[in-house]
Amino acid sequence: MRLILLALCALVAFPARAADPEVLARLDALHARRADVAAVKELEAALKQALAATPDDFELVWRQARLLQWQADGAVSNDKLKKVLGRQTWDAAEKAVKLAPERVEGHYFAATGIGAYSQAVGVMKALGEGLEGKFNERIDAALRIDPDFSMGAPLLVKGRYFYELPWPKRDLKKSAEYYEKVIKKHPQMLRARYFLAETLLKDDKAKQAHEAIQQVKQGSVAYDPAEGQRVQEWAKKVQADIEEELK
């Protein structure tokens, strides 16, 4: 009994180590350079090393989910890869939720992981697997905790949900309203305008969509170069679709 008590005291006296703030700062600096393949490889290695030392550190786990989400988001022409990365994002984020349910990051990245996975397997199949409820549970929690996280990212994801749904669940008006909330508070956020352009085009509002996509093309990427450059590259196809519609 005495040995058990001593062991319990040791656990209280010596809690699990947390990641060094300098390590977190390095991870964030590498994340900012994630458009560079070499920086991503370095980030993956740094995360692996840090998680080996402190696998249950919330700050590391959600950053792992953040990287996986970025990679899943970029797998636009590879559904097999997007499915794998979406599932990995979801799993890492669920661990983050368990570690710190009061924090927004785990809930947000779990929703994005479910979203990427659903896009890869097909929205109808995802609905059949019951993923809609799981997605909404996570994104609605993120919206309750901090809708302004990462420049309104939870609002963007909820807006995209209403865009991605098949008829008759799709609600393009509601989708646009979420994006406009983000644009009002974060006018520099190009993804909000990009999503808005796609929604307007699908809603037979090609002229308004043209205005939105021009703002994406002409916008500054200084707020997040990797993100902004990705969105501007994607905008080229949407612009072509809009111009075809306007003929």
Residue 211 is part of a domain; what is its CATH number? 1.25.40
pLDDT at 160 over 90: yes
227 domain residue, yes or no: yes
pLDDT band, very low/low/confident/very high, at 2 (cuts 50, 70, 90): low
Q: Can you give the pLDDT at residue 15?
A: 38
Predicted confidence at residue 19, as pLDDT, reads 78
Is residue 4 very low, low, confident or very high in pLDDT (cuts 50, 70, 90)?
Answer: very low
In this prediction, residue 1 carries a pLDDT of 53
219 in any annotated domain: yes
User: CB 27: neighbour CB atoms within 10 A?
Assistant: 22
Q: Using one digit for the tens of pLDDT, what is the confidence trace for 6-48? A: 444 443 433 345 778 999 999 999 999 999 999 999 999 999 9
What domain range is 204 assigned to? 168-247
How many angstroms separate the Cα of 236 from the Cα of each of 17, 28, 45, 68, 245? 47, 29, 33, 25, 14
Q: Is residue 195 a part of any domain in this protein?
A: yes
Q: Mean pLDDT of all residues in the chain?
A: 93
143 occurs within a structural domain: no
139 occurs within a structural domain: no
Summarize pLDDT for 135-154 with one digit per residue, the tens.
999 999 999 999 999 999 99
**How many separate domains does the chain show?**
1
pLDDT band at 170 (very low <50, low <70, confident <90, very high): very high
Q: Please write the tens of the pLDDT for every residue from 37-90.
A: 999 999 999 999 999 999 999 999 999 999 999 999 999 999 999 999 999 999
Work out the number of other CB atoms within 10 angstroms of the CB of residue 201.
21
Q: Give dist(CA 182, CA 178) in Å, integer.
A: 7
